[in-house]
Amino acid sequence: MTNLSVNINKVATLRNARGGNMPNLIQVALDCEMFGAQGITVHPRPDERHIRYSDVYALKPEIKTELNIEGYPSDQFVDLVLKVKPAQVTLVPDAPDAITSNAGWDVRPNFELLSDLTDTFKSHGIRSSIFTGTDLENLDWAAKTGTDRIELYTEPYATEYPVNREKAIAPFVEAARHAKSLGLGINAGHDLSLENLAFFHQQIPFLDEVSIGHALICDALYLGLEDTIKRYLACLKD
C-alpha cells in the first residue's frame, strides 16, 4: 500500500496572506486525516513564508497519522526535528531562497553530513529519507548513509508525462528497483497530480509514500478537499 502524505504548505501560504488564522492550519490537517490521508507533510523554510516553526510544534500533538518534516538541514531545522520528533524527516538540498525544491542531493560530496544526520535521527527514533534524483550511483551512496528511505524527485517525470509517459517513467522504474534492491524504502514527490499519479503508482507498485501539496490544494479549490483526497487515494489503489 502506498500512503498519501498531504503537504499543507500552500494552506499556510493562504493563511499568511491575510494574517490571522484563516484557514486554520491544524483543522485542515485534521480534516485531511479524516478524509483518508495517511500523513501530513510540512516544509518550513528560514523565512517562514508558509509553514512557521511554531506551526510544526502546534501540529505534532494533534496529528494522529504520520508527521513528515522536510527541509534543508540547517542547525535550526535539525533542532526543530529533534524537539518535535516526527515519524519521518526528509532531507532536501534547498537553498534558503528556493521557491520550491528543484533537485535532489548529490550524495557523495555530502556523504559525511547526510550520514551524521541519519545516525542522529535514527538514535532519536526518527525515520530518515533523502531527496534524490534517479542516478543509480547516487542511490548507492544514499544507501551507504544509513538512511531508511529515499524520496524520488518527480518533477522530470511530471514534465515529460504529457509528451511520452513511457519515456517519462523509465528512469524512475529503474531507480526504484535499484533502491529497493539496496534495502531502501521509496517515497516520491514533486508535481505529482491527478493526471500522472495513477500511472506512476502502477509502474512502481512498491512505493511506500507520495507527498503531494501544490496540485492537491489546487484541485481542492474546484473539487473540495474531501473529494480531492479521495481521488488521490483512488490513484494509489493496487
Where in the sequence numbering do the catalytic residues fall?
43, 70, 190
The β-bridge relationship of strands 127-132 and 149-153 is parallel
Closest CA to 50 of 72, 77, 86, 25: 25
Query: Does 23 sit behind a cis peptide bond, omega within 30 degrees of 0 on the bond before it?
Result: yes
Q: Which residues pair with 153 in a beta bridge?
A: 189
State the virtual CA torsion across 106, 185, 121, 68 in degrees, nearest 10: 90
d(CA 193, CA 215): 6
